[in-house]
């Protein structure tokens, strides 16, 4: 697949003015990750966006899992030379040479690097049961196992559904857990009667005691030996197939059987009963703080996070598992997670604000002929076009944009978008509350 890059310069910048150069919108060539759980070939939105972005062909037999937009060394973005023949420069090195593009406040807080990493995910099979460490734990893990934990940063994140999107996230309430312990005897066998009985006789008012027993029960479950796990999952599978002849299985039971097909005899299959089963509609978002357990199940989403690739895994994966670290670091917070619906900034733009300084995401849908403005802000942004076409006008240039285009916009640059055909795009930037907090504190 080939694509011609089109740019219409409106200001000649050959006078070497660094202030103008640092206000120029930069096109990015981005990286793709072909993890096994990704959607295959043309079925993957990641594949289609990457093909448009890079000019490459889609391999019909290959999984395309994640499109990365940012400066993380595991999947760097590169500046596209304006006339197709300049030096190829990574976004990270360009920012380090032009730190003012980040804005003074971002530079003061995070140094000369983007504080966020922007992604698109296309999920065919479940990702691992995992959590991301807080900053202190991340530094320790990176020091101990640098080949596994690639950096010393924390990784709060948010998933914004493009299609219907399914995930496991956090622990179910105590009342729901009691129902599971009554109805899933195979779990009690793995957890042990002592912890199971304690949980059955507790109530919400027991607070920290509940957390401690839940931690003990979950650690027992995830640490069960392979033979016991295989036997328990086999028994559960036989029982559920038999019961499906007599009644409609619950959504969670159907999910567990689906996971068992993907990851036979994996402890992550049966542990799914402990977690909230979340179904997002397009335009809904889920955020995940440090030490919160989760696993994405299926669908396509926009994902944004702090610039890190630290993952502690414990199930539904052939990759390295660190069960003791995961079980010791979790918050064990119970109850259904908050779902963000976003709030309108304008008739065309919806903003999603998680409780993390590093990032926010805007979703913009412009009908043909419509225009909208993204006001200048004190931090950098990355724009991703997922559909349609139009123009993007900044301080220095006017760009023709369409599906697959990814653009870096420096701090303090106002952007005007006009749609030639319905234009659908996303923007990632530093959380606007971060700038408001600083203003109040000054």
Binding-site positions for Zn(2+) read 130, 132, 157, 294
What is the rounded CA–CA span in Å between residue 346 and residue 222?
A: 47
Answer whether 343's CB lies under 8 Å from 354's CB.
no
Which of 27, 48, 313, 351 is catalytic? The answer is 313
**247 among known catalytic residues:** no
The DSSP string of 290-350 is TT--EEEEEEEEEEEEES----EEEES-SS---HHHHHHH----BSPPPEE--EESSSSEE
φ/ψ of residue 10, rounded to 5:
-110, -10
State how far the Cα of 221 lies from the Cα of 229, in Å rounded to an integer. 9
Token pair listed for 134: 């807080």
Q: Could you say which DSSP state residue 264 is in?
A: T
Q: 143: which residues sit within 8 A by CB, 6+ positions away?
A: 152
What b-and-e string marks burial along 126-160, b requiring 16 or more CB atoms within 10 Å of the CB? bbbbbbbbbeebbbebbeeeeeebbbbbbbbbbbb
What would the two tokens of residue 122 be? 């296309």
User: Which residue ranges make up each domain of the chain?
Assistant: 168-340, 349-431
The secondary structure of 367-393 as a DSSP string is -TT-EEEE---SS-EEEEEEEEEEEEE
Cα–Cα distance between 5 and 436 in angstroms, integer? 37
Torsion 315-317-323-329 (CA) sign: negative
The pLDDT assigned to 384 comes to 98
User: What is the C-alpha to C-alpha distance for residues 121 and 301, in angstroms, rounded to an integer?
Assistant: 5
Show the tokens assigned to 357: 């300084």
Distance separating alpha carbons of residues 153 and 335, to the nearest angstrom: 27
Low-confidence ranges of the chain (pLDDT < 50): 1-17, 440-442
Is the distance from CB of 101 to CB of 49 less than 8 angstroms?
no
The CATH-assigned architecture of domain 168-340 is: Orthogonal Bundle (1.10)
Strand partners, 419: 390
> pTM for the whole thing?
0.91
Helix (H, G, I), strand (E, B) or coil at 436: helix
Beta carbons within 8 Å of 291's beta carbon, 6+ residues apart: 131, 132, 133, 134, 137, 329, 330, 331
Helix (H, G, I), strand (E, B) or coil at 287: strand
Q: Which residues are annotated as a binding site?
A: 130, 132, 157, 294
Check residue 82 and give its pLDDT. Answer: 72
In the CATH scheme, what is the homologous superfamily, with its name and number, of domain 349-431? Jelly Rolls (2.60.120.10)
């Amino acid at each position: 697949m080939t694509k011609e890059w089109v740019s219409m310069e409106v200001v000649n910048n050959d006078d070497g003015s660094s202030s103008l150069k640092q206000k120029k919108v930069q096109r990015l060539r981005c990286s793709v990750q072909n993890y096994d759980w990704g959607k295959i070939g043309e079925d993957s939105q990641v594949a289609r966006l990457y093909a448009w972005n890079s000019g490459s062909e889609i391999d019909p037999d290959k999984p395309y899992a994640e499109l990365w937009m940012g400066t993380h060394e595991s999947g760097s973005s590169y500046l596209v030379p304006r006339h197709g023949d300049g030096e190829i420069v990574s976004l990270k090195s360009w920012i380090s040479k032009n730190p003012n593009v980040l804005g003074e406040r971002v530079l003061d807080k995070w140094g000369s690097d983007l504080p966020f990493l922007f992604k698109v995910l296309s999920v065919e099979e479940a990702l691992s049961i995992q959590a991301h460490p807080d900053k202190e734990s991340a530094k320790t893990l990176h020091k101990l196992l640098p080949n596994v934990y690639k950096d010393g940063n924390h990784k709060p994140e948010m998933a914004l559904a493009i299609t219907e999107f399914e995930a496991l996230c956090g622990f179910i309430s105590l009342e729901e857990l009691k129902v599971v312990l009554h109805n899933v005897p195979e779990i009690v066998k793995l957890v042990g009667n002592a912890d199971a009985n304690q949980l059955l006789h507790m109530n919400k008012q027991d607070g920290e005691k509940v957390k401690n027993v839940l931690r003990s029960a979950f650690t027992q479950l995830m640490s069960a030996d392979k033979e016991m796990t295989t036997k328990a999952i086999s028994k559960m599978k036989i029982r559920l197939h038999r019961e499906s002849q007599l009644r409609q299985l619950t959504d969670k039971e159907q999910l567990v059987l689906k996971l068992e097909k993907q990851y036979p005899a994996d402890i992550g299959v049966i542990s799914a009963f402990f977690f909230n089963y979340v179904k997002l509609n397009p335009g809904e978002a889920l955020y995940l703080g440090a030490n919160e357990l989760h696993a994405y199940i299926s669908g396509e989403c926009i994902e944004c996070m702090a610039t890190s690739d630290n993952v502690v895994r414990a199930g539904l994966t052939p990759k390295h598992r660190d069960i003791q670290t995961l079980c010791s670091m979790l918050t064990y917070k119970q109850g259904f997670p908050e779902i963000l619906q976003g709030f309108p900034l304008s008739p065309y733009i919806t903003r999603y604000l998680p409780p993390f300084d590093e990032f926010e995401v805007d979703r913009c849908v412009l009908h043909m002929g419509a225009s909208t403005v993204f006001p200048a802000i004190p931090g950098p942004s990355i724009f991703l076009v997922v559909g349609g076409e139009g123009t993007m006008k900044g301080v220095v240039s006017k760009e023709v944009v369409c599906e697959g285009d990814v653009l870096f916009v420096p701090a303090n640059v106002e952007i005007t978008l006009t749609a030639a055909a319905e234009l659908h795009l996303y923007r990632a930037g530093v959380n606007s509350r971060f700038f408001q907090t600083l203003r109040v504190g000054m």
